[in-house]
Amino acid sequence: MDNASLAEEIITDTKNESIEENEIIGKVAQYKQTLAEYQEKEDYIGGIYYYDEEIGFNSDPELIDLREKLVDDYIRQEVKIADGLLTDSDADAAIEEIEKAERMLPDDRWEKCIEYYQSVMPKSLALMSPYFTEGKGRYISIGKDTTFTNVIPYDQFGNEYNTAIQFKDGIREGGNTLTMKYNLDRKYTSLTGIVTENKSFTTTTGPNLADTYLAIYCDEELIYKSQMVDDEMRPQDISIDVTGVLDLRIDYIGNYEVLLNDPVLYPENLSEPLYEHLGEVIDL
């Protein structure tokens, strides 16, 4: 090949490369414009799907950044919706919204959002495990969402409750006392519940039937001691300030079967929206 032919071939190749480069630049510009339109319409999930289906092969860093922004904005959008579904007693609707968003767009950050919503809701003490127990008395959690979900808590007057911690003596094991401790980690402000006798308990007469009561301690300070629990005792409502408390201790002493019904802990940031703290909870 002579020099003239070689030069002409080089010029042709250069022109073709230039055309291809211009086509790529034009396509990238078109992609950016389309993504900007999705962004403007706040159709973030639509923009993400468009990127994954039409642009996913393209490694242009600006396009990658645009997708990341769409994902972040979609998370913000869904959290705002979930916040609007929060109530003072229920985060189920908010969590369902986040779970739906996770199905639309898998992302590890959704789990952190769910954990946050769970943390700002009232929590049943009956569904928590004590980190320390001592004594030969016995306890089980009964009622809704517990291991014994088919056992409905009733007091001796026939009142029904959702959940309960049931305390029993351990006479067969040689004792009738029990101490339980829970780690509250200073996350709660109050504990409420209702102390009653268990409806299914059958009393007996004789010297072995000891005085029965519950006592509650906050960081080892006695805060509440129930009336003596017996067949005649009316349900006793409790409401205890646990603000700043690390350890919650419950002592059971006696022979009667006692129920601590619907024991609920209320968090310090009850039903507080996630959006205000989103940057602290997840990486955005």
| Whole-number average pLDDT of the chain | 87
Residue 23 is given by DSSP the state H
- Grade residue 154 by pLDDT with cuts at 50, 70 and 90: very high
| Residues 235 and 196 sit within 8 Å (Cβ to Cβ) | yes
pLDDT digits 0-9 by tens, 256-280 = 889 999 999 999 989 899 999 999 9
| Residues 81 and 97 sit within 8 Å (Cβ to Cβ) | yes
pLDDT digits 0-9 by tens, 23-81 = 555 788 899 999 999 999 999 999 999 999 988 877 788 999 999 999 999 999 999 99
- Grade residue 7 by pLDDT with cuts at 50, 70 and 90: very low
Residue 268 is given by DSSP the state T
DSSP H helices, the chain, are 3-41, 44-50, 61-83, 92-104, 109-119, 278-281
Neighbours of 233 (CB within 10 A): 20
The whole-number average pLDDT for the span 228-240 is 90
| Residues 244 and 186 sit within 8 Å (Cβ to Cβ) | yes
pLDDT of residue 171: 60
pLDDT of residue 130: 96
Residue 225 is given by DSSP the state E
- Grade residue 88 by pLDDT with cuts at 50, 70 and 90: confident
Looking at the chain, the whole-number percentage of residues with pLDDT higher than 90 is: 63
3-state SS class at 274: coil
- Grade residue 168 by pLDDT with cuts at 50, 70 and 90: confident
CA nearest neighbour of 194 among 222, 220, 217, 163? 163
Give DSSP secondary structure letters for 144-194. Answer: TTSTBTTS--BBTT--B-SEEEEEE-BGGGTB-EEEEEEE-TT-EEEEEEE
What angle do helix axes 61-83 and 92-104 make, rounded to 10 degrees?
160
Handedness of CA 33, 37, 42, 44 (dihedral sign): negative
Residue 85 is given by DSSP the state T
Q: Is the pLDDT of residue 12 over 50?
A: no
Q: Is the pLDDT of residue 205 over 90?
A: no
